[in-house]
Structures are given as C-alpha cells and as structure tokens.
Amino acid sequence: MKSYLKTEDLAVGYHGKPLIEEVSLCVQRGKIVTLIGPNGSGKSTILKTIIGQLPELSGAVYLDGETMRSRSRNDIARRMAILMTVRVEPELMTCRDVVSSGRYPYTGKLGMLREEDRKIVEQSLAQADALSFADSPFSAISDGQRQRILLARALCQQPQLIVLDEPTSYLDIRYKLELLSVLKRMVRENDLAVLLSLHELDLARRISDTVVCVAGDRIDRIGPPEEIFTSDYIAQLYHLERGKYDPCFSTLEFVP
Amino acid sequence: MERKRAKRTYLGFSLLFVLLAVFLIWNLLAGSVSLSASEIWQILLGGGEDLTQRRIIMQIRLPRMMAALILGGALSVSGYLLQTFFHNPIAGPFVLGISSGAKLAVSLVMIFLLSRGVKSSSALLIGAAFVGAMLAMGLILLISQYVDQMSLLVVCGVMIGYICSALTDFLVTFADDSNIVNLHNWSNGSFSGMKWEDVETMAWVCGAALLLTFFLSKPIRAYQLGEVYARNLGVPIRAFRTALILLSSVLSACVTAFAGPVSFVGIALPHLMKALFKTAEPLLMIPACFLGGGIFCLVCDLIARTAFAPAAVSISSVTAVFGAPVVIYMMICRKAGRT
C-alpha cells in the first residue's frame, strides 16, 4: 500500500546542526504511527520538521508522492493538519470560531465562511464530541475539551494527514482515553493517516499500528507494537538500569 | 448564537455612529467664538455673511475635526495591528516607542529645514516620521529576538520611547529659532492648526493603509491562534508579519507627522472595541477600531481645546487621563477572567 507521508533520509535539528539523521518513516492512510522515546530524544524535532516549522537539514519529506518543498502552502494546508503543544490563547473566540479557523485553505480573499463551510464545521464538532460546548469561549473550557476542539479544528481542515505532538500531556486519564478514542474513530471514518508522539506507553501500545522508537541521536527501531513493547527493549530504550517494563500491564516499575 | 452576534454587531455600530454624529456636531458648536447651530448650518450650506465666522468653521473647526477623526482612527487601528503582531494586550505605537521614534525623526527634519528657512512639506514629514517609526520598530524587533518574554519587550519599548523623547526635548531646547515654538507645541501632541491640504494628505495615506489592512483580515484571523497554527493553515508568516509591521508603522507615522505623539489611543481603543463587540474578529474590529479611535480623539480634542479655554491642553494629556484607566481596568478584567 502507498504511503501518504514518507520521509527519506531526513536530517532534523536546530540551527543547522543535525540532531537525528536518516529519519525514514512512512504513514499510510487509515494507520496510526506513534513516536515514543525518552524526554528530549527528538520526537518533537522530527514532528516540527515534518510540518515545516523547522527547516529540513537534508533529505526530503514526501506528502502524497510529492516533496513538501514542491507543494504550495495552500496545497499542503489542504492535506495536512496539526495539533501541537504550543498553548493556543485566542482572544474572545468561541470554540466554534477556533474550529472554523480550519477552513482557511478553502475560503476566499476575506475568509468568509460559506454555507458548506459551516456544515463542515458542525460535522467536525460532532465527530470530536464537542457540540455541547461549541458556543463556550475557548478560554473557559477544560484542557481536555480544548484538545478535542483542536482536534475538531484539524479535522475541519479536511486533511488526509494529521500530525499531533503529545496530544495527551496534562490531561487526566479519562480525557486521555477520550481523546484517543475520538482520534481512532476519526481515522476509521475519514481514512486519515496519523503521525503522533506519545509519552504514555500503555496508550501508545493500544492505539498504534506502528511504533517508532526515537533514541536521541537516531531512530532505534520501527515495528508493530507487539514487537516493540517487550520488557528488555523498553528498558533499554528508556535507559532503565534498575527498573523494568512490565509488558502485561504496559507499565514501568522500579525494582527496589 | 449567530443571531446574538449579528445583533451585537448591529447595535455596536449603531452606537458608534450615533456617538460620531453627536461629537461631530458638538465639536462644530464648541469654541471660544460662540456660534449658534443655525448660523453654523447656514455656513455649511454655503451661506453666512460674516467672513470671520465662515473662516472659523470652514478653515479651523472643520479641518481640525476631520484630522482628529482620521488620525484617532489610524492610531487605534495601528494599535490593533501591533497587539495582533505581539500577541500582547499592552502593545501600542506609543508604548513600544514607535511614536517617539517618529517624533524624533520629524523634529530633526523640522529643525534642519527651519534653520535653513525652508518650509517643510507634509510628504517630507510623513516620510521622516515613517523612517523614525521603522527605526524604533526595527530596534524592538531586534530586541525581540533575544527577549522571549513579551512584558520585557514592552519595557524595552518604553525605554526606547524615553530615549527618543529625551533627545527630542534636547533638540528643541537648544535649537534657537523663533519658529521652534511651533515645534514645541507639535512635540507635545496637538490637532491645532490643521489645514485642508493636511487633511487631504492624511486621508489618502490612512485610507490606503486601512484598505490594505482590511485585506489582511483573513491571515490576521488565522494568526490569532498563534504562529504555528497560522503557518500550517498556509499563512506566509514572514510576508504577513512584514506587512503588519509596515502598515502599523505607516499609520502611526502619519499621526505623528501631523499631530505629534498621541498616547493611549492605540492601546485603549482596541480593548474598548473588543469589549463592546465581544469579539476580536478583524473584519469587524478594523472598522470598529477606526470609528472608535476617531470618536475618542474627537472627544479628547474637544476637552483639550475647550475645558480650560483660553488655555489649550496638549491632546496627549487628555487621551492619557481617559485612556490609561481603561488599560488598567482591562488588565484587571483579563486577569480575573483567566483564573
């Protein structure tokens, strides 16, 4: 099957200094690919480079068969949506306004919403289970609801690929599960390709079709969850000297 | 929700237009020479026998009023753009030192020309103000690369403003020329002595800048979610930021060139308008800020020239008295709203 997103020998890093080289990964439509790895191992750097926030140091990112560089801004915006860790603090915007901003690549000179745009906004809100608080100010809702609104916003862009950077951080367990189940449903219903990074190994194991292990200076291993989540390998990836990973419960434990 | 919003928009603009009409008329009526409404009506229609009265209305009050309206509006829109750019509620042309930079440049040009006995043209003054504004802005942008925190950036802006003002005062004090009296008046901020040519020039400059700003509505709306999301939506960030900076500098430079530095309109009015319309939607905010700023300056100019007549107060003293409390109040409300 053809990959929707593919990176070829991509080098990523800050200020022209490569942090990780030869990143080669691919995401197909309908699949979820998850980056895991210790803090500071470069998960965000890879994602930021793929979405074009950081320049590619070498290699290339292919989106639907063509390099990112050869595509226009609007072309990319219609194919790829994002949900990153930066705080979104819009002034006086309702949740529905935030979601409608996803229509940007489709609207005219002044960005007025047409009838069909509004319909898509409502559909996106519904798919993210966010209709009940759509009229609330974005600044007044909980973190879990915010992530769902941002997910609806991404969906409203009608992309084929969504890139998410640690979307579950700072959420309590109920919201984590809720968000990921919404995401999983979206993937199924819209045939989306999803690339995300996660801290929670149990969630990563449950949701991913492919897991990419980032280890600071390289991509250490790529494989299906059942191959990655073994006691020995996870302990090695996270440099657990005295701890151990329990594959039955997907939990990390310290051995006293 | 949609209906509620439409109603608020409608009511908001109705209120602004009523206020505009009231203060336009009030400004025409008020002044050291008292004229009755019917006399003024006669003069406006082209009648009126008394030449002095005619001159007062047509050559003094009317152009001054138009200048206050246009420049106040320009300043307020400039503030709105800067607040969008910096994602900071207290950004404004005066606070960031942009007005003071323009003031310094204009003083330099004025003194240089006056000492050679050349009369300065308004195009030249706008040009000088623009260069000064851009230099101050450039300095702020340079600092912003090293300073992440927006509050620190604003402090830097205030400092740059003080340096520029001090230099201007220095120049004014030591440039000995009888014409300097004018310069002194101007450097404190005033709408007095506006001529129709001036009004025409500022209308063209501000009108063009406003029109361009209006066409930036779409990227401004996307940018309100932050740079990362705006880039993903396809906003050409670099070009967009440059356009924002250029437009806000042109607008505040135009104000400074004609009326000197006017404080607090740029910060306070966008806040008031956002509170009135309960939205930050640029398609509404750009015209609303323009109208609001214009009305605010009409009111302040009215107070500046009539409250302590025959003495005239500088316009900045009045705008500060009314503008600063608004800013403080808004800050408190924001804080309360967030926690």
Q: What are phi and psi of A80, to 5 degrees?
A: -130, 130
Per-residue exposure over A152-179, b if at least 16 CB sit within 10 Å of its own CB, e if not = bbbbbbbbbbbbbbbbbeebeeebbebb
Give the number of beta-carbon pairs within 8 Å between A and B. 79
Nearest chain B Cα distance for residue A201, angstroms? 27
Q: pLDDT band for position B14 (50/70/90)? A: very high
Contact between A109 and B215 (Cβ < 8 Å): yes
Q: Which of A164-168, B19-23, B48-52, B295-299 has the lowest mean pLDDT?
A: B48-52
For a pLDDT cut of 90, what percent of chain A falls above it?
70
Given a cut of 70, whether residue B165 has pLDDT beyond it is yes
Answer whether B234 sits within 8 Å of A74, measured CB to CB: yes
Segment (H or E) for A165: strand A161-165
What SS3 state is found at B66? helix
Q: What is the pLDDT of residue B283?
A: 93
Q: pLDDT band for position A133 (50/70/90)? A: very high
- Summarize the confidence of residues B297-310 as an average pLDDT: 88
Q: What is the pLDDT of residue B143?
A: 84
Which of the given ranges, A8-12, B42-46, B185-189, has the highest pLDDT on average?
A: A8-12
Instruction: Tell me the chain B residues in contact with residue A105 when contact means C-beta distances shorter than 8 Å.
Output: 233-234
B284 or B153, greater pLDDT: B284
Residue B273, phi-psi category: left (phi > 0), alpha (psi -120 to 50), beta (remainder): alpha
CB atoms < 10 A from the CB of B141, how many?
14
Answer whether B215 sits within 8 Å of A109, measured CB to CB: yes
Given a cut of 80, whether residue B256 has pLDDT beyond it is yes
Q: Which residues of A touch B (CB under 8 A)?
A: 51-53, 73-74, 76-77, 80-82, 84, 86-94, 96-98, 101-102, 104-105, 107, 109-112, 135, 139, 157
Sequence-separated (6 or more) residues with CB below 8 Å from residue A23: A7, A9, A10, A11, A12, A46, A59, A219
ipTM computed for the complex: 0.92
Answer whether B218 sits within 8 Å of A101, measured CB to CB: no
Answer whether B338 sits within 8 Å of A110, measured CB to CB: no
Nearest chain B residue (CA) to A77: B233
Per-residue exposure over A75-105, b if at least 16 CB sit within 10 Å of its own CB, e if not = bbbbbbbbbbeeebebbbbbbbbbbbbbbbb
Size of chain A, expressed as the number of residues it contains: 256
Q: Which residues of B touch A (CB under 8 A)?
A: 1, 87, 214-215, 217-218, 221-222, 224-226, 228-229, 231-236, 274, 278-281, 283, 337-338
Q: Which of A18-27, B34-43, B170-179, B196-205 has the lowest mean pLDDT?
A: B170-179
Nearest chain B Cα distance for residue A101, angstroms? 6
Instruction: Tell me the chain B residues in contact with residue A79 when contact means C-beta distances shorter than 8 Å.
Output: none
HSE-CB for A150 with a 13 A CA cutoff: 29
Q: What is the pLDDT of residue B214?
A: 94
Q: pLDDT band for position B312 (50/70/90)? A: confident
Contact between A92 and B278 (Cβ < 8 Å): yes
Which residue of B218, B225, B229 is in closest CB contact with A111? B218
Q: pLDDT band for position B178 (50/70/90)? A: low
Sign of the torsion formed by the C-alpha atoms of A155, A161, A164 and A167: positive
- Summarize the confidence of residues A160-189 as an average pLDDT: 92
- Summarize the confidence of residues A144-164 as an average pLDDT: 94
In whole numbers, what is the pLDDT of chain B averaged over residues?
86
Contact between A213 and A38 (Cβ < 8 Å): no
Segment (H or E) for A214: strand A210-214
Instruction: Tell me the chain A residues in contact with residue B224 when contact means C-beta distances shorter than 8 Å.
Output: 90-91, 93, 101
Q: To which residue do tokens 């915007």 refer?
A: A93
Segment (H or E) for B308: none
Q: pLDDT band for position A58 (50/70/90)? A: very high
CATH (residue range A3-79+160-254): 3.40.50.300
Given a cut of 70, whether residue B176 has pLDDT beyond it is no
Given a cut of 60, whether residue A241 has pLDDT beyond it is yes
Q: pLDDT band for position A256 (50/70/90)? A: low
Q: How far is it, in rounded angstroms, from Cα A99 to Cα A31?
A: 24
Q: Which of A111-120, A177-186, B120-129, B254-263 has the lowest mean pLDDT?
A: B120-129
Q: To which residue do tokens 């639907």 refer?
A: A64
Looking at the DSSP bridge assignments, the partners of residue A193 are A161
Closest CA to A163 of A256, A80, A88: A80
- Summarize the confidence of residues A200-211 as an average pLDDT: 92
Given a cut of 90, whether residue B146 has pLDDT beyond it is no
Answer whether B280 sits within 8 Å of A92, measured CB to CB: yes
Q: What is the pLDDT of residues A62-99, one digit of tens each?
A: 999 999 999 999 999 999 999 999 888 888 899 999 99
Which residue, among A104, A122, A133, would best test binding to B if mutated, counting the most B CBs under 10 Å from its CB? A104
Which residue of A51, A96, A98 is in closest CB contact with B232? A51
Q: To which residue do tokens 């932050």 refer?
A: B226
What SS3 state is found at A136? coil
Range(s) for CATH 3.40.50.300 in chain A?
3-79+160-254
Q: What is the pLDDT of residue A67?
A: 93
Given a cut of 60, whether residue B338 has pLDDT beyond it is no
Answer whether A77 sits within 8 Å of B234, measured CB to CB: yes
- Summarize the confidence of residues B157-167 as an average pLDDT: 89
Instruction: Tell me the chain A residues in contact with residue B212 when contact means C-beta distances shorter than 8 Å.
Output: none
Answer whether B235 sits within 8 Å of A104, measured CB to CB: yes
Q: What is the pLDDT of residues B60-109, one digit of tens each?
A: 889 999 999 999 999 999 999 999 888 877 788 888 888 889 989 988 88
Sequence-separated (6 or more) residues with CB below 8 Å from residue B207: none
3-state secondary structure B241-306: HHHHHHHHHHHHHHHHHHHCCCCCHHHHHHHHHHHHHCCCCHHHHHHHHHHHHHHHHHHHHHHHHH
Q: What is the pLDDT of residue B138?
A: 87
- pTM here? 0.89
Q: What is the pLDDT of residue B339?
A: 37
Sign of the torsion formed by the C-alpha atoms of B100, B325, B269 and B183: negative
Q: What is the pLDDT of residue B93?
A: 87
Nearest chain A Cα distance for residue B140, angstroms? 23
Contact between B225 and A101 (Cβ < 8 Å): yes
Closest CA to B167 of B249, B100, B116: B100
Answer whether B218 sits within 8 Å of A104, measured CB to CB: yes
Domains of chain B, earliest start first: 2-338 (1.10.3470.10)
Given a cut of 80, whether residue B28 has pLDDT beyond it is yes
Given a cut of 90, whether residue B314 has pLDDT beyond it is no
Q: How far is it, in rounded angstroms, from Cα B101 to Cα B108?
A: 11
Nearest chain A residue (CA) to B276: A92
Q: pLDDT band for position B52 (50/70/90)? A: confident
Angle at B295 between CA B290 and CA B301, to 5 degrees: 125
Q: How far is it, in rounded angstroms, from Cα A185 to Cα A182?
A: 5
B38 or A154, greater pLDDT: A154
Closest CA to B222 of A135, A119, A98: A98
Answer whether A91 sits within 8 Å of B338, measured CB to CB: no
The single-letter code of the amino acid at A91 is E
Which residue of B226, B232, B235 is in closest CB contact with A81? B232
HSE-CB for A118 with a 13 A CA cutoff: 5
Q: pLDDT band for position A1 (50/70/90)? A: low
Instruction: Tell me the chain A residues in contact with residue B5 when contact means C-beta distances shorter than 8 Å.
Output: none
Contact between B20 and B14 (Cβ < 8 Å): no
Contact between A92 and A137 (Cβ < 8 Å): yes
Q: What is the pLDDT of residues B204-241, one digit of tens each?
A: 999 999 999 999 999 999 999 999 999 999 999 989 98
Nearest chain A residue (CA) to B214: A110
Which residue of A90, A96, A110 is in closest CB contact with B224? A90
Sequence-separated (6 or more) residues with CB below 8 Å from residue A45: A12, A13, A14, A19, A20, A54
DSSP E strand boundaries for chain B? none
Given a cut of 80, whether residue B32 has pLDDT beyond it is no
Given a cut of 90, whether residue A29 has pLDDT beyond it is yes
Which residue of B221, B228, B338 is in closest CB contact with A53? B228
